[in-house]
Structure 1
Amino acid sequence: MPSYGVSLLSGGLDSTTVTVLAKEKTDHLTALTFHYGQSHSKEVDCAAAVARSIGVPQELLDISFLGKVAWYSALTNPERFPVPEDRDAARMGNSIPITYVPLRNTIFLSLAAAYLESQALHAIEMEGLSPSDVQAHIYMAPNAIDYSGYPDCRPEFFQKMGESLGYGSKLWTEYHVPLQIELPIIEMSKADIVRLGMKLQAP
Protein backbone atom coordinates (compact mmCIF):
# COMPACT_ATOMS: atom_id res chain seq x y z
CA MET A 1 0.00 0.00 0.00
CA PRO A 2 1.85 3.15 -1.17
CA SER A 3 2.11 5.85 1.45
CA TYR A 4 2.65 9.51 0.67
CA GLY A 5 3.92 11.88 3.29
CA VAL A 6 5.19 15.33 4.06
CA SER A 7 7.32 16.17 7.06
CA LEU A 8 7.60 19.72 8.33
CA LEU A 9 11.35 20.22 8.62
CA SER A 10 12.66 23.35 10.32
CA GLY A 11 16.22 22.10 10.74
CA GLY A 12 16.10 21.75 14.51
CA LEU A 13 16.50 18.63 16.62
CA ASP A 14 12.80 17.80 16.88
CA SER A 15 11.82 18.10 13.24
CA THR A 16 15.02 16.40 12.08
CA THR A 17 14.30 13.39 14.28
CA VAL A 18 10.70 13.19 13.09
CA THR A 19 11.71 13.52 9.43
CA VAL A 20 14.20 10.66 9.74
CA LEU A 21 11.48 8.56 11.37
CA ALA A 22 9.00 9.54 8.66
CA LYS A 23 11.41 8.42 5.97
CA GLU A 24 11.44 4.95 7.49
CA LYS A 25 7.65 4.77 7.54
CA THR A 26 6.72 6.44 4.23
CA ASP A 27 7.22 5.34 0.63
CA HIS A 28 7.13 8.83 -0.89
CA LEU A 29 8.25 11.54 1.55
CA THR A 30 8.85 15.23 0.93
CA ALA A 31 10.32 17.57 3.52
CA LEU A 32 8.56 20.93 3.65
CA THR A 33 10.43 23.91 5.04
CA PHE A 34 8.66 27.22 5.54
CA HIS A 35 10.55 30.49 5.38
CA TYR A 36 8.47 33.27 6.85
CA GLY A 37 11.01 35.75 8.17
CA GLN A 38 11.40 33.94 11.46
CA SER A 39 14.19 35.10 13.73
CA HIS A 40 15.88 31.68 13.57
CA SER A 41 16.43 31.91 9.81
CA LYS A 42 19.68 29.93 10.04
CA GLU A 43 17.47 26.89 10.63
CA VAL A 44 16.39 27.12 6.99
CA ASP A 45 19.96 26.37 5.92
CA CYS A 46 20.15 23.55 8.46
CA ALA A 47 16.93 22.06 7.08
CA ALA A 48 18.38 21.95 3.58
CA ALA A 49 21.51 20.24 4.90
CA VAL A 50 19.43 17.68 6.79
CA ALA A 51 17.29 16.88 3.75
CA ARG A 52 20.39 16.34 1.62
CA SER A 53 22.01 14.21 4.30
CA ILE A 54 19.10 11.79 4.63
CA GLY A 55 18.22 11.77 0.93
CA VAL A 56 14.75 13.26 1.15
CA PRO A 57 13.50 15.76 -1.45
CA GLN A 58 12.79 19.16 0.05
CA GLU A 59 10.48 22.00 -0.87
CA LEU A 60 11.44 25.39 0.54
CA LEU A 61 8.27 27.45 0.61
CA ASP A 62 8.49 31.21 0.94
CA ILE A 63 5.55 32.33 3.05
CA SER A 64 7.01 35.65 4.08
CA PHE A 65 3.49 37.05 4.21
CA LEU A 66 3.09 35.26 7.55
CA GLY A 67 5.33 37.76 9.27
CA LYS A 68 3.05 40.54 8.11
CA VAL A 69 -0.22 38.98 9.20
CA ALA A 70 1.06 37.23 12.34
CA TRP A 71 3.21 40.14 13.45
CA TYR A 72 2.47 39.96 17.16
CA SER A 73 5.30 37.57 18.02
CA ALA A 74 8.92 37.68 19.04
CA LEU A 75 9.71 35.17 16.28
CA THR A 76 8.27 37.23 13.43
CA ASN A 77 8.91 40.69 14.87
CA PRO A 78 11.99 40.43 17.12
CA GLU A 79 12.86 44.11 16.80
CA ARG A 80 9.62 45.06 18.48
CA PHE A 81 9.22 42.03 20.74
CA PRO A 82 12.58 40.66 21.93
CA VAL A 83 12.82 36.91 22.39
CA PRO A 84 12.82 36.18 26.14
CA GLU A 85 15.89 34.36 27.35
CA ASP A 86 14.13 32.49 30.17
CA ARG A 87 11.31 30.13 29.23
CA ASP A 88 11.26 28.33 32.56
CA ALA A 89 7.88 26.61 32.93
CA ALA A 90 7.44 27.79 36.52
CA ARG A 91 7.83 31.41 35.48
CA MET A 92 5.61 31.04 32.43
CA GLY A 93 2.69 29.77 34.51
CA ASN A 94 -0.47 29.51 32.41
CA SER A 95 0.37 32.40 30.12
CA ILE A 96 1.10 31.96 26.43
CA PRO A 97 4.58 33.36 25.69
CA ILE A 98 5.38 36.14 23.23
CA THR A 99 7.19 33.55 21.10
CA TYR A 100 3.77 32.19 20.10
CA VAL A 101 3.10 32.99 16.42
CA PRO A 102 -0.64 33.56 15.88
CA LEU A 103 -2.18 30.46 14.25
CA ARG A 104 1.15 29.37 12.80
CA ASN A 105 0.45 25.65 12.96
CA THR A 106 -3.02 26.16 11.52
CA ILE A 107 -1.41 27.77 8.48
CA PHE A 108 1.42 25.24 8.32
CA LEU A 109 -0.98 22.32 8.46
CA SER A 110 -3.21 23.79 5.77
CA LEU A 111 -0.28 24.28 3.41
CA ALA A 112 1.17 20.86 4.16
CA ALA A 113 -2.22 19.24 3.63
CA ALA A 114 -2.68 21.01 0.29
CA TYR A 115 0.72 19.79 -0.91
CA LEU A 116 0.09 16.26 0.29
CA GLU A 117 -3.44 16.12 -1.09
CA SER A 118 -2.12 17.17 -4.49
CA GLN A 119 0.32 14.26 -4.44
CA ALA A 120 -2.32 11.76 -3.36
CA LEU A 121 -4.91 12.98 -5.86
CA HIS A 122 -2.36 12.76 -8.65
CA ALA A 123 -1.60 9.18 -7.66
CA ILE A 124 -5.30 8.29 -7.72
CA GLU A 125 -6.54 10.29 -10.70
CA MET A 126 -3.49 10.41 -12.97
CA GLU A 127 -1.59 7.24 -12.08
CA GLY A 128 -4.62 5.03 -11.58
CA LEU A 129 -4.00 3.93 -8.01
CA SER A 130 -6.99 2.68 -6.09
CA PRO A 131 -7.97 5.06 -3.26
CA SER A 132 -8.09 2.10 -0.90
CA ASP A 133 -4.39 1.57 -1.56
CA VAL A 134 -3.30 5.15 -0.83
CA GLN A 135 -2.22 6.54 2.52
CA ALA A 136 -1.45 10.20 3.26
CA HIS A 137 0.51 11.34 6.31
CA ILE A 138 1.56 14.75 7.64
CA TYR A 139 4.46 14.50 10.09
CA MET A 140 5.02 17.26 12.63
CA ALA A 141 7.26 17.60 15.65
CA PRO A 142 5.48 19.23 18.60
CA ASN A 143 6.47 17.83 21.98
CA ALA A 144 5.51 18.00 25.63
CA ILE A 145 7.45 21.22 26.18
CA ASP A 146 5.71 22.94 23.27
CA TYR A 147 2.16 22.10 24.18
CA SER A 148 2.64 23.29 27.74
CA GLY A 149 2.71 26.85 26.41
CA TYR A 150 1.36 26.94 22.87
CA PRO A 151 -2.33 26.28 22.12
CA ASP A 152 -1.59 25.14 18.57
CA CYS A 153 0.83 22.46 19.78
CA ARG A 154 -1.65 20.58 21.95
CA PRO A 155 -3.04 17.14 21.09
CA GLU A 156 -6.63 18.36 21.03
CA PHE A 157 -5.71 21.04 18.47
CA PHE A 158 -4.28 18.47 16.08
CA GLN A 159 -7.27 16.20 16.54
CA LYS A 160 -9.67 18.97 15.56
CA MET A 161 -7.45 20.11 12.69
CA GLY A 162 -7.34 16.59 11.33
CA GLU A 163 -11.13 16.52 11.28
CA SER A 164 -11.33 19.93 9.61
CA LEU A 165 -8.82 19.03 6.92
CA GLY A 166 -10.81 15.93 6.12
CA TYR A 167 -14.09 17.79 5.77
CA GLY A 168 -12.44 20.37 3.52
CA SER A 169 -10.54 18.00 1.25
CA LYS A 170 -11.50 16.17 -1.92
CA LEU A 171 -9.24 13.31 -0.86
CA TRP A 172 -11.51 12.47 2.07
CA THR A 173 -14.85 13.72 0.77
CA GLU A 174 -14.71 11.82 -2.52
CA TYR A 175 -12.18 9.05 -1.94
CA HIS A 176 -12.37 8.54 1.84
CA VAL A 177 -8.59 8.77 2.22
CA PRO A 178 -7.80 10.63 5.45
CA LEU A 179 -5.03 13.18 5.78
CA GLN A 180 -3.47 11.69 8.88
CA ILE A 181 -1.52 13.99 11.19
CA GLU A 182 1.36 12.06 12.75
CA LEU A 183 2.89 13.37 15.98
CA PRO A 184 5.49 10.77 17.00
CA ILE A 185 7.19 12.85 19.71
CA ILE A 186 4.16 14.64 21.16
CA GLU A 187 4.56 12.96 24.57
CA MET A 188 8.37 13.00 24.65
CA SER A 189 10.75 15.09 26.69
CA LYS A 190 13.85 16.60 25.10
CA ALA A 191 15.95 13.81 26.57
CA ASP A 192 13.65 11.22 25.01
CA ILE A 193 13.90 12.97 21.65
CA VAL A 194 17.69 13.04 21.80
CA ARG A 195 17.75 9.31 22.54
CA LEU A 196 15.39 8.61 19.65
CA GLY A 197 17.48 10.74 17.31
CA MET A 198 20.61 8.83 18.28
CA LYS A 199 18.84 5.52 17.76
CA LEU A 200 17.73 6.63 14.29
CA GLN A 201 21.20 8.04 13.56
CA ALA A 202 19.64 11.38 12.73
CA PRO A 203 22.16 13.97 11.48
Structure 2
Amino acid sequence: MKNEKAVVVFSGGQDSTTCLFWAIKNFKEVATVTFDYGQRHSAEIECARKIADELGVLFKVLDMTLINQLSANALTRDDIEVTAEEGELPSTFVPGRNLLFLSFAAVYADAIGSRHLITGVSQTDFSGYPDCRDTFIRSLNVTLNLAMDKQFIIHTPLMWLDKADVWELSDTLGALDFVQEKTLTCYNGIPSTGCGECPACQLRTDGLARYQAKKMAGANT
Protein backbone atom coordinates (compact mmCIF):
# COMPACT_ATOMS: atom_id res chain seq x y z
CA MET A 1 0.00 0.00 0.00
CA LYS A 2 2.96 2.27 0.50
CA ASN A 3 3.01 3.29 -3.16
CA GLU A 4 -0.69 4.17 -3.28
CA LYS A 5 -2.96 7.08 -2.37
CA ALA A 6 -5.61 7.10 0.37
CA VAL A 7 -8.46 9.35 1.45
CA VAL A 8 -9.25 9.69 5.15
CA VAL A 9 -12.77 10.66 6.22
CA PHE A 10 -11.64 13.28 8.69
CA SER A 11 -13.35 15.17 11.50
CA GLY A 12 -10.37 16.29 13.55
CA GLY A 13 -11.40 14.05 16.45
CA GLN A 14 -9.39 11.39 18.27
CA ASP A 15 -10.42 8.49 16.08
CA SER A 16 -10.06 10.08 12.65
CA THR A 17 -6.76 11.73 13.63
CA THR A 18 -5.38 8.38 14.75
CA CYS A 19 -6.53 7.00 11.41
CA LEU A 20 -4.76 9.88 9.65
CA PHE A 21 -1.46 9.00 11.32
CA TRP A 22 -2.07 5.34 10.41
CA ALA A 23 -2.68 6.35 6.79
CA ILE A 24 0.45 8.51 6.63
CA LYS A 25 2.46 5.51 7.82
CA ASN A 26 0.90 3.07 5.35
CA PHE A 27 0.34 5.09 2.16
CA LYS A 28 2.56 7.13 -0.13
CA GLU A 29 0.07 10.00 -0.43
CA VAL A 30 -2.81 10.93 1.86
CA ALA A 31 -5.74 13.30 1.42
CA THR A 32 -8.48 14.16 3.90
CA VAL A 33 -12.13 14.95 3.31
CA THR A 34 -14.19 16.72 5.96
CA PHE A 35 -17.93 17.26 5.87
CA ASP A 36 -19.88 20.35 6.84
CA TYR A 37 -23.23 18.85 7.84
CA GLY A 38 -24.45 21.76 9.91
CA GLN A 39 -22.82 20.47 13.07
CA ARG A 40 -23.27 22.70 16.11
CA HIS A 41 -19.58 23.44 16.41
CA SER A 42 -17.85 24.83 13.34
CA ALA A 43 -14.69 24.58 15.45
CA GLU A 44 -14.65 20.91 14.44
CA ILE A 45 -13.99 21.83 10.81
CA GLU A 46 -11.33 24.37 11.72
CA CYS A 47 -9.65 21.85 14.00
CA ALA A 48 -9.55 19.34 11.14
CA ARG A 49 -8.13 21.99 8.81
CA LYS A 50 -5.34 22.90 11.24
CA ILE A 51 -4.37 19.27 11.78
CA ALA A 52 -4.29 18.56 8.04
CA ASP A 53 -2.18 21.66 7.43
CA GLU A 54 0.24 20.77 10.22
CA LEU A 55 0.67 17.23 8.92
CA GLY A 56 0.99 18.41 5.32
CA VAL A 57 -1.91 16.49 3.79
CA LEU A 58 -4.53 17.65 1.31
CA PHE A 59 -7.68 18.98 2.98
CA LYS A 60 -11.11 19.30 1.41
CA VAL A 61 -14.48 20.26 2.88
CA LEU A 62 -17.70 19.07 1.26
CA ASP A 63 -21.06 20.72 1.95
CA MET A 64 -23.48 18.15 3.38
CA THR A 65 -25.79 20.55 5.18
CA LEU A 66 -28.75 18.92 3.46
CA ILE A 67 -28.62 16.34 6.27
CA ASN A 68 -29.59 19.08 8.67
CA GLN A 69 -32.70 19.77 6.62
CA LEU A 70 -33.92 16.19 6.95
CA SER A 71 -33.33 15.09 10.53
CA ALA A 72 -33.17 16.53 14.03
CA ASN A 73 -30.37 15.34 16.31
CA ALA A 74 -28.13 16.61 19.07
CA LEU A 75 -25.11 17.07 16.81
CA THR A 76 -26.85 19.59 14.57
CA ARG A 77 -29.36 21.15 16.97
CA ASP A 78 -28.31 22.93 20.15
CA ASP A 79 -31.85 22.69 21.50
CA ILE A 80 -31.66 18.87 21.65
CA GLU A 81 -29.99 17.38 24.72
CA VAL A 82 -27.19 14.84 24.31
CA THR A 83 -28.66 11.61 25.67
CA ALA A 84 -27.88 7.91 25.38
CA GLU A 85 -30.70 5.82 26.82
CA GLU A 86 -30.08 2.07 26.99
CA GLY A 87 -31.83 0.21 24.16
CA GLU A 88 -32.38 3.37 22.10
CA LEU A 89 -30.37 5.21 19.48
CA PRO A 90 -28.37 8.08 21.05
CA SER A 91 -29.70 11.56 20.37
CA THR A 92 -26.33 12.23 18.66
CA PHE A 93 -27.07 9.70 15.91
CA VAL A 94 -27.29 11.42 12.51
CA PRO A 95 -29.31 9.14 10.19
CA GLY A 96 -27.43 8.22 7.03
CA ARG A 97 -24.31 10.17 7.96
CA ASN A 98 -21.67 7.50 7.36
CA LEU A 99 -23.56 6.17 4.35
CA LEU A 100 -23.47 9.59 2.70
CA PHE A 101 -19.99 10.55 3.91
CA LEU A 102 -18.35 7.38 2.61
CA SER A 103 -20.26 7.54 -0.67
CA PHE A 104 -19.12 11.10 -1.32
CA ALA A 105 -15.62 10.23 -0.09
CA ALA A 106 -15.53 7.52 -2.75
CA VAL A 107 -16.53 10.00 -5.45
CA TYR A 108 -13.81 12.35 -4.27
CA ALA A 109 -11.27 9.53 -4.08
CA ASP A 110 -12.09 8.51 -7.63
CA ALA A 111 -11.59 12.11 -8.79
CA ILE A 112 -8.06 12.24 -7.34
CA GLY A 113 -7.07 8.72 -8.38
CA SER A 114 -7.41 6.90 -5.07
CA ARG A 115 -8.99 3.53 -4.37
CA HIS A 116 -8.44 3.48 -0.61
CA LEU A 117 -10.89 4.99 1.89
CA ILE A 118 -10.11 5.14 5.61
CA THR A 119 -12.67 5.73 8.34
CA GLY A 120 -12.45 5.62 12.13
CA VAL A 121 -15.63 3.69 12.84
CA SER A 122 -15.53 1.07 15.58
CA GLN A 123 -17.91 -1.73 16.44
CA THR A 124 -16.29 -2.10 19.87
CA ASP A 125 -17.00 1.49 20.92
CA PHE A 126 -19.70 2.31 18.40
CA SER A 127 -21.93 4.17 20.87
CA GLY A 128 -25.04 2.51 19.47
CA TYR A 129 -24.59 3.89 15.95
CA PRO A 130 -25.67 1.23 13.41
CA ASP A 131 -23.53 2.79 10.66
CA CYS A 132 -20.33 2.09 12.61
CA ARG A 133 -20.73 -1.69 12.42
CA ASP A 134 -18.48 -3.98 10.42
CA THR A 135 -21.42 -5.49 8.52
CA PHE A 136 -22.46 -2.05 7.29
CA ILE A 137 -18.94 -1.16 6.12
CA ARG A 138 -18.54 -4.46 4.28
CA SER A 139 -21.93 -4.06 2.63
CA LEU A 140 -21.23 -0.48 1.59
CA ASN A 141 -17.84 -1.46 0.17
CA VAL A 142 -19.52 -3.93 -2.14
CA THR A 143 -22.21 -1.41 -3.07
CA LEU A 144 -19.70 1.32 -3.91
CA ASN A 145 -17.71 -1.03 -6.12
CA LEU A 146 -20.83 -2.10 -7.97
CA ALA A 147 -22.24 1.42 -8.26
CA MET A 148 -19.03 2.97 -9.57
CA ASP A 149 -17.47 -0.05 -11.29
CA LYS A 150 -14.28 0.46 -9.27
CA GLN A 151 -12.37 -1.55 -6.71
CA PHE A 152 -12.39 0.57 -3.60
CA ILE A 153 -11.11 -0.75 -0.30
CA ILE A 154 -12.57 0.72 2.88
CA HIS A 155 -10.04 0.43 5.70
CA THR A 156 -11.24 0.51 9.31
CA PRO A 157 -8.12 0.42 11.52
CA LEU A 158 -10.17 0.94 14.69
CA MET A 159 -13.02 -1.48 14.01
CA TRP A 160 -12.16 -3.96 16.76
CA LEU A 161 -10.43 -1.56 19.17
CA ASP A 162 -11.89 -0.02 22.29
CA LYS A 163 -10.83 3.49 23.33
CA ALA A 164 -7.88 2.23 25.38
CA ASP A 165 -6.68 0.33 22.32
CA VAL A 166 -7.08 3.46 20.16
CA TRP A 167 -4.86 5.40 22.55
CA GLU A 168 -2.35 2.57 22.40
CA LEU A 169 -2.38 2.69 18.60
CA SER A 170 -1.79 6.43 18.59
CA ASP A 171 1.12 5.91 20.99
CA THR A 172 2.56 3.20 18.74
CA LEU A 173 2.31 5.66 15.84
CA GLY A 174 4.18 8.28 17.88
CA ALA A 175 1.11 10.49 17.98
CA LEU A 176 -0.34 10.14 21.48
CA ASP A 177 0.56 13.66 22.65
CA PHE A 178 -0.58 15.16 19.35
CA VAL A 179 -3.94 13.39 19.53
CA GLN A 180 -4.37 14.26 23.19
CA GLU A 181 -3.63 17.96 22.75
CA LYS A 182 -4.84 18.91 19.26
CA THR A 183 -8.01 16.95 18.51
CA LEU A 184 -11.65 17.84 19.17
CA THR A 185 -13.93 15.00 20.25
CA CYS A 186 -16.17 16.80 22.75
CA TYR A 187 -19.88 17.13 21.94
CA ASN A 188 -19.72 20.61 23.47
CA GLY A 189 -17.03 21.77 21.04
CA ILE A 190 -14.15 22.01 23.53
CA PRO A 191 -10.80 20.80 22.13
CA SER A 192 -8.18 18.61 23.80
CA THR A 193 -9.52 17.12 27.06
CA GLY A 194 -12.97 18.61 26.34
CA CYS A 195 -15.73 19.31 28.83
CA GLY A 196 -15.18 16.04 30.67
CA GLU A 197 -18.90 15.47 31.04
CA CYS A 198 -20.45 14.54 27.67
CA PRO A 199 -20.48 10.86 26.57
CA ALA A 200 -17.69 11.44 24.03
CA CYS A 201 -15.40 12.99 26.64
CA GLN A 202 -16.17 10.28 29.18
CA LEU A 203 -15.37 7.54 26.66
CA ARG A 204 -12.15 9.29 25.65
CA THR A 205 -11.00 9.99 29.23
CA ASP A 206 -11.83 6.51 30.46
CA GLY A 207 -9.94 4.96 27.53
CA LEU A 208 -6.86 7.08 28.19
CA ALA A 209 -6.87 6.19 31.89
CA ARG A 210 -7.14 2.48 31.11
CA TYR A 211 -4.33 2.66 28.56
CA GLN A 212 -2.05 4.61 30.90
CA ALA A 213 -2.70 2.06 33.66
CA LYS A 214 -1.88 -0.78 31.26
CA LYS A 215 1.27 0.99 30.08
CA MET A 216 2.41 1.63 33.64
CA ALA A 217 1.74 -1.97 34.64
CA GLY A 218 3.78 -3.15 31.68
CA ALA A 219 6.66 -0.87 32.61
CA ASN A 220 6.70 -2.27 36.14
CA THR A 221 6.90 -5.92 35.12
Gaps spanning 5+ residues in structure 2: where? 179-221
Moved over 6 A (4+): none
Deviations 1:154-196 (A, max 9, x none): 00000100010010013x2xxxxx1110000111111111121
Q: 2:126 aligns with which of 122, 147, 168?
A: 147
Alignment partner of 1:75 is 2:68: no
Contact 2:123 2:134 in 1 (8 A): no
Which residue pairs with 2:216 in the alignment?
none
Q: Structure with the greater relative contact order (CA < 8 A, sep ≥ 6): 1 or 2?
A: 1
Alignment partner of 1:44 is 2:45: yes
In the superposition, the TM-score normalised over structure 1's length comes to 0.80
Q: 2:110 aligns with which of 107, 117, 122?
A: 117
Which residue pairs with 1:179 in the alignment?
152
2:154 match: secondary structure: strand
CA drift at 1:94: 2.6
Which residue pairs with 1:194 in the alignment?
167
Contact 2:125 2:162 in 1 (8 A): no
Gaps spanning 5+ residues in structure 1: where? 121-134, 173-177
Q: Which whole-Å CA distance do the structure 2 matches of 1:157 and 1:39 have between them?
A: 26
In the superposition, the TM-score normalised over structure 2's length comes to 0.74
Q: Which whole-Å CA distance do the structure 1 matches of 2:166 and 2:88 have between them?
A: 25
Alignment partner of 1:159 is 2:160: no
2:34 match: secondary structure: strand
The percent identity for this pair of structures is 34
2:112 match: secondary structure: helix
Q: Which whole-Å CA distance do the structure 2 matches of 1:3 and 1:140 have between them?
A: 17
Which residue pairs with 2:86 in the alignment?
93
RMSD between aligned residues: 1.7
Q: Which whole-Å CA distance do the structure 2 matches of 1:150 and 1:19 have between them?
A: 22
Deviations 1:31-79 (A, max 9, x none): 111111112332211111111221111112222222112x221112232
Q: Which whole-Å CA distance do the structure 2 matches of 1:192 and 1:146 have between them?
A: 10
Which residue pairs with 1:18 in the alignment?
19
Deviations 1:69-123 (A, max 9, x none): 2x221112232x2223xx4xxxx33321111101100000110000111222xxx
Alignment partner of 1:108 is 2:87: no
Number of residue pairs aligned between Structure 1 and Structure 2 = 175
Amino acid at match of 1:5: A
Q: Which whole-Å CA distance do the structure 2 matches of 1:82 and 1:145 have between them?
A: 24
CA drift at 1:201: 2.5
Change (3 A) 1:104 1:113: same
Contact 1:72 1:102 in 2 (8 A): no
